[in-house]
A and B are shown apart, each in its own frame.
Chain A
Amino acid sequence: MASSSTPTTISFLSRKNRFRLFGLTLDDCIRTFFGGNALISVVVLALITFFLFKEGAHFFAQNDRNLRIYRQAGLEYVDFIRTQSDDHTALTRSLSDLRVRTLNELTQKQNRPLAEANAALAGFDAFAGQFSDAVDPLRSLVSDLTEQATEIKTKFIVAGDKQEERNQLLAAGKTAEAGRVQIAVINFQEELKPLLATLPAYREANQAFATQLKAVMATAPTLPTPELQGRMDKFKAHTRDYLATFPAVEHKLETWDYLKPVPFWQAFTAFIFGREWLTASFWQDWYGVIPLFVGSLMVSLVALLLAVPLGVGAAIYVNQIASLGEQRFIKPCIEFISAIPSVVLGFFGIAVLGQALRALSQFTWLSWVPGFPFSERLNILTAGCLLALLAVPTIFTLAEDALNNVPRAFKEASFALGANRLQTIIQIIVPASLSGIISAILLGLGRVIGETMVVLLCAGNRIAIPDFTAGLGVVTQPVHTMTGIIAQEMGEVVRGSIHYRALFMVGLVLFFLSLGINYLAQRIVRRYRLSIG
Chain B
Amino acid sequence: MVIADPLSMDTRSSVPTPRPTMGTSSLATAGDSSAPASEILIDIEHLDFFYGASQALHDITLQVEAKKATALIGPSGCGKSTLLRCLNRMNDLIDGTRIGRGTIKIRDVEINGRDIDVIELRKRVGMVFQKSNPFPKSIYENITYGLRLQGVKTKAQLDEVVERSLRAAALWDEVKDRLHASGLGLSGGQQQRLCIARAIAVEPEIILMDEPCSALDPIATAKVEELIHELKTNFTIVIVTHNMQQAARCSDRTAFFYMGRLVEYAETRTIFMNPGNPQTEAYVSGRFG
Q: Which residues of A contact B (CB under 8 A)?
A: 323-324, 407, 409-420, 423, 427-428, 431-432, 531-533
Contacts and interface: CB of A to CB of B under 8 A. Distances in A.
A419 B146 CA distance: 7
A409 B131 contact: yes
8 contacts: A409-B129, A409-B131, A412-B93, A412-B133, A413-B198, A418-B119, A428-B135, A431-B136
Interface residues of B, number: 26
B149 A407 contact: no
A410 B129 CA distance: 10
A417 B136 contact: no
B135 A410 contact: yes
B223 interface: no
A409 B133 contact: yes
B129 A418 contact: no
A418 to B, nearest CB: 4
Contact of A418 (B133, B136, B149): B149
Contacts of B184: 531, 533
A416 B135 contact: no
B119 A412 contact: no
B180 to A, nearest CB: 15
A415 B90 contact: yes
B145 A417 contact: yes
B93 A413 contact: no
A420 B119 contact: yes
Interface string B84-107: 000010100101000000000000
Given A417-B202, A418-B123, A427-B145, A531 B136 contact: yes
Given A412-B90, A420-B119, A323 B135 contact: no
Contacts of B146: 417-419
B195 interface: yes
**Taking chain A's interface residues, is the majority helix, strand, or loop, or is none over half, making it mixed?**
helix
Contact of B133 (A413, A419, A431): A413
A427 B142 CA distance: 11
A432 B127 contact: no
B230 interface: no
A415 B123 CA distance: 9
Contacts of B123: 417-418
A411 B127 CA distance: 13
Contacts of A324: 95
B120 interface: yes
B185 to A, nearest CB: 9
Q: Which of A410, A411, A417, A427 has the most CB of B within 10 A?
A: A417
Interface string B141-171: 0000110011000000000000000000000
Contacts of A428: 135
B133 A407 contact: yes
Given A409-B133, A432-B136, A416 B150 contact: no
